[in-house]
Amino acid sequence: MKSLYKLSTLLFLFVSVTSCSDDDSSRDELTGSGMVKIEFDNSVAGDDLILGSSYTNSQAETLTINRLNYIVSNFRLTDTQGNVFTYPKEAGYFITSEETGNTEVVLMDVPAGRYTSMTFGIGVDQEKYLLGAEGQGDLLTEAESTEMMWSWQAGYKFLNFEGTFTSSTVPENTNFQIHMGSHGSSLDNYKETTLSLGTEALVSDKMTPIIHLVVNAGNILDGDNKISLTEQAVIMVSEEKSPKIAENTANMFSVDHVHNGDGSSH
């Protein structure tokens, strides 16, 4: 009986090790190409952002957020070997909107690999804009329908952050509007951010990673640069404050986790 028990134990261990080895091998052999899903989970100071809810910033201003839309673009993924995959520029502009619930970006036909960091832009770069209206593709139509453009001549809104606020010197339900964009080469507020993923994002014809980002909307006014709505409630074209808001916005993204799987679960 002891011999039979030992044999059964050895057989179980062999099957377990073989199973693990097969799983590791399947992950090592990343082939073909696949999708990368990026989820933008909008929040305020650690809490989920719920439109219509209120929070108080470091300026002792109480904000009720009614709109948070922003453009992300020009995605680049870097793998463990330092190779960089640049997503095709013509397909690389996305509008995320808390209003519509459209807060996921899907990158298609990404080469198989183990990716460790991601870079993307916030807004629309001058190179894209200078292609003219005919060179914008679907982005122009989508921007117009989601309040992400002033006019073709004035350009895109990279960020549309709106709501109401009050403070010790400002009446309740005073409107605020933060629209950040670029206004010619003299006021180019397009910014990029690079994030370490922490966990390798595994891409192949069988593996679809989901990169879950937390986006702290409170950072827009309350980042390294402190912006007081009491001082100025509508900021659209400001040589002083628009660049500071652009810097704050570029730093509002962080990686929460990466889920590697077939893309059907989080």
Q: Report which of residues 186 and 104 the model is more confident about.
A: 104
33-44 and 47-48: which strand pairing? antiparallel
Q: What is the mean pLDDT of residues 182-207?
A: 92
Alpha-carbon distance of 259 to 261, in angstroms, equals: 6
Residue 185 burial (CB count, 10 A) = 8
pLDDT of residue 169: 95
Confidence bin at 10 (pLDDT 50/70/90): very low
Q: What is the mean pLDDT of residues 117-127?
A: 97
Residue 248 lies in a domain: yes
Residues 19 and 134 in one domain: no
In the predicted structure, residue 37 carries a pLDDT above the cut 50: yes
In the predicted structure, residue 14 carries a pLDDT above the cut 60: no
Residues 80 and 211 in one domain: yes
CB-based contact 106:35 (threshold 8 Å): yes
Residues 124 and 62 in one domain: yes
Residues 89 and 172 in one domain: yes
The domain tally of the chain equals 2
Among all chains, which residue has been given the structure tokens 């011999």?
3
Residues 94 and 176 in one domain: yes
Residue 76 lies in a domain: yes
Q: What is the mean pLDDT of residues 107-131?
A: 96
Beta bridge partners of 56: 62
- Domain with 209 in it: 31-261
Residues 17 and 55 in one domain: no
Alpha-carbon distance of 89 to 92, in angstroms, equals: 5
In the predicted structure, residue 125 carries a pLDDT above the cut 70: yes
Residue 266 lies in a domain: no
pLDDT of residue 141: 93
Cα–Cα distances in Å, from 120 out to 22, 135, 265?
35, 20, 24
Residues 86 and 216 in one domain: yes
Q: Report which of residues 265 and 22 the model is more confident about.
A: 265
Lookup: tokens for 179: 């629209």
Residues 82 and 1 in one domain: no
Residues 87 and 185 in one domain: yes
Mean pLDDT, rounded, of the chain:
88
